[in-house]
Amino acid sequence: MAIIAPSLLAADFLHLGKACEMLNESEAEWFHLDVMDGSFVPNISYGLPVIEQIKKTTTKVMDVHLMIVHPEKYITDFKKAGADILTIHYEACPHLHSTLQQIKAQGMKAGVALNPHTSVEVLKEVIKDIDVVCVMSVNPGFGGQKFIEHTYEKVKALAILIKNVGASTLIEIDGGVTEHNAAALVNAGAHVLVAGTTVFKASDPKAMISLLRKA
């Protein structure tokens, strides 16, 4: 049984209330919120005011994925906006250990996302301090991209690394997740599946969430 984290990026932005309503009624446990700054990634999505409104409407865990430079500057702001989990990119944090402690000091769970080219080994010394590792299975910046098959190897290596230090870190997969690769990802060691296009473009999003969850 996987935790499903539908990504708002693929929702109809004219009807965000409807997207929240659908999610509340679904079996998804998390709501994945992608913040892009046009600098760390070549796209701009949405930010604090939108997240603040969604927090008022949703009953789900707010899983905020920051694809921004200098994420350490905005930790308090995202806490105030309603983030329960705050994920920052390894590639954007020269002082990762310190930034993780700052996130936890605000009472949030701390996540670290890895771009496709970044090896899981770089997290070895801080893995015990990380609640969620978000393995990017596409290059961050856009929804609807093709899943990178090498992700399976990374997930397996990460699962071993976590086990070796006795940590309870969750492994989250972000990008190109479908009903066709969900089970294989869970078998490889994934606990959380982010799904944007697969959920929001499905004819029955709630049924799709249930299907993914059973992976």
Tell me how far apart the alpha carbons of residues 190 and 109 are, in angstroms, rounded to a whole number. 18
Q: Which does 71 bind (CB under 5 to 8 A by kind): ligand DX5, Zn ion, none?
A: none
Q: If we measure between CA atoms, which residue out of 185, 127, 121 comes closest to residue 151?
A: 185
Q: How many residues bind ligand DX5 (CB under 6 A)?
A: 22
Tokens 């080219």, located at residue: 117
Task: Decide: is 155 part of the binding site for ligand DX5 (CB under 6 A).
Answer: no
Residue 140: both structure tokens together:
């961050």
Tokens 């590639």, located at residue: 91
Tell me how far apart the alpha carbons of residues 75 and 89 are, in angstroms, rounded to a whole number. 13
Cα–Cα distances in Å, from 110 out to 88, 89, 199? 8, 11, 25
Task: Decide: is 111 part of the binding site for ligand DX5 (CB under 6 A).
Answer: no
User: Would you call 63 a catalytic residue per the annotation?
Assistant: no
Task: Decide: is 71 part of the binding site for ligand DX5 (CB under 6 A).
Answer: no
Interacting residues with Zn ion between 56 and 75 (CB under 5 A):
65
Distance of CA 191 to the CA centre of its chain: 11
Task: Decide: is 174 part of the binding site for ligand DX5 (CB under 6 A).
Answer: yes
Nearer to ligand DX5, 141 or 189 (CB): 141
Task: Decide: is 131 part of the binding site for ligand DX5 (CB under 6 A).
Answer: no
Contact positions vs Zn ion (CB under 5 A):
34, 65, 174
Binding site for ligand DX5 (CB under 6 A): 7, 9-10, 32, 34, 65, 138, 140-145, 174-177, 194-198
